[in-house]
Amino acid sequence: MNSPSEARLEIEGLTFCYHSRQEPAIQDISFDLQPGEVMLLAGASGCGKTTLMRCINGLIPKIYRGSLEGQIRVYGRPVSEMSMAELSQSVGTLLQDPERQIVGSYVLNEVAFGLENLGLPRGEIMERVERTLDYLGIAHLRDREVFNISGGEKQKIALAGILVMEPRILLLDEPLASLDPASSSGALQLFRRLADDGISVLLVEHRVDEVLAIQPERVLYLEDGKAVYLGDPQGMLDVVDYRRVKLPARTVVRRARNAEPPPEFQPALPPPTQQPLIDFQKVGFRYRPELPETLRGVNLQVHPGDVIAVLGANGAGKTTLVKHALGLLKPTRGQVLLEGQDTRKLTVAQAAHTIGYVFQSPTQMLYAPTVEEELAFGPRNLAHPPEQIRADVSWAIRTVHLEPELKTPPLALSFGQQKRVSIAAVLAMRSRILMMDEPTAGQDYWNYRSFMDTILQMPGFEAILFITHDVDLAVIYANRILLIYNGQVAADGSPHAVLRDEEKLRACRVLPTSLLELNLELYPQTGRFLRAEALAQYVA
């Protein structure tokens, strides 16, 4: 990768208001980004982080219209004087949702796409593509179909398509959202290495505690479109609201020590029974006859009262497993029983009366002209009464805190807001079993804790299962952990039983967090896993 010393970004008095909004999305933002610097851009959902990135990479005002004031200079040149083609060779952007960024059918074609548009010689294109794939450690994906790789692998491919252009400024919008913990750690180390090679990195991320591990030079923290902190990371730990931003567990414990302890969290789920709701019996599955099995001999039961967190590496088979429960995929061998019925004999529409499923990528679910119509679609197809539909749509939209967006087109919202709309659309169906694939992707800490608290304390669900790369989500909410490795169930048990086995976790690319480590340390006193604020009363 290049290591130019002249790379620089300067922003002065930047304000932008979307034409469809009354209030500015960002106001009077000023900072610069130095060569070789990692700057963390943090703040709650809707605070203006993505808008700021759109201003830097030229999408505002070229694509997104509105009122723009202030100045942005890249290497001394105003962005307003640069074409998108010029900017793309200097500023690379990784979007929150890789589905929006990938256009090629095969990995090799996708990574080469930008260089081909520049008209470079084929030999140079192939040399740069191979070098980038090797640099990211994903050369083994070179000839794979993009459709058949995991969400986390798609994120890495999207990043390869950017790095192959050899940008000097890198904008990363939630790059860890789809990555397993080990891949997240590797990605962060990669971003640090890129900065050490001279690239300037502006990193948007809600998982602040993880980013701090690579020692970003500075943090820019936004609230309501305004910069409320710009400085070193240590100072930020004492400034931001620990209830809204995910900080290291010991920092939260220190700051919460004199606060009122949070109320005890009690999920509203039925008591366990012997009769399973879902029963996997020696399930094997392969996507095509010539490919190896994605699931291999899975035996698994889901019972009433289960709150199951599914953990494992990108490509381990987690999403494939969950799709079998709903009948979106049918076993190659073995069988899946949904309340005693073989899913091969059920339509997805029939299964949807029992299971509500939130897809990993919201763009795979959303299509309606307004959020309100999106939320009403499922209940209407399940023949719910009109009065119940209105009540359930109202409850669901309040649960995800998007009441002002009911008349907004879902695809006009940010990725994080789209994710919450997709969750609300499933909640409105009032299914008895709720399954969510990466429910916290693109969500700030306060929002995801708020809707998870509400969902788990709302009577009506008999079991909840969620796939996540956020180990702390499993620590706080799950009463059962499934660890998936290479298409098999590597561990299945209580959070304490599964998550204390660090050797097995690391083998499955799951890394201990500061919250998990503190819970394990205090477990002899607590007898259960708790959120950081609740642990404060146990720490001397």
Strands 480-485, 463-467: pairing is unpaired
The reported pTM is 0.85
**Selection from 251, 98, 181 nearest residue 474 by Cα:** 181
| Residues 509-539: tens digit of each pLDDT | 999 999 999 999 999 999 999 999 999 989 8
- Mapping DSSP to helix (H, G, I), strand (E, B) and coil, where does residue 140 land? helix
The pLDDT of residue 64 is above 70 = yes
The pLDDT of residue 100 is above 80 = no
| Residues 372-404: tens digit of each pLDDT | 999 999 999 999 999 999 999 999 999 999 999
Question: How far from 47 is each of 9, 203, 512, CA to CA, in Å?
Answer: 21, 15, 29
- CB-based contacts of 408: which residues, under 8 Å, 6+ apart? 370, 371
pLDDT, mean of residues 446-464: 89
pLDDT, mean of residues 279-298: 94
Q: Which domains does the chain have, with CATH numbers?
A: 9-98+169-240 (3.40.50.300), 370-426 (no CATH)
- For residue 81, which phi and psi values (nearest 5 degrees)? -95, 0
DSSP-assigned states of every residue in 211-266: HGGG--SEEEEEETTEEEEEE-HHHHHTTS-TTTS---HHHHHHHHTTSPPPPPP-
Neighbours of 285 (CB within 10 A): 22
The span from the CA of 254 to the CA of 518, in Å, is 13
| Residues 130-176: tens digit of each pLDDT | 999 988 888 999 989 888 787 778 888 988 999 898 888 999 988 88
The pLDDT of residue 73 is above 50 = yes
Give buried/exposed letters for 433-448 (b at 16+ CB in 10 A, else e). bbbbbbbbbbbbbbbb
Two tokens, residue 21:
């909004």
Question: How far from 327 is each of 207, 307, 355, 424, 439, CA to CA, in Å?
Answer: 33, 21, 10, 21, 20
DSSP-assigned states of every residue in 416-480: HHHHHHHHHHHHTTT-SEEEEESTTTT--HHHHHHHHHHHHTSTT-SEEEEE-S-HHHHHHH-SE
In terms of phi and psi (left: phi > 0; alpha: psi -120 to 50; beta: otherwise), the region of 18 is beta
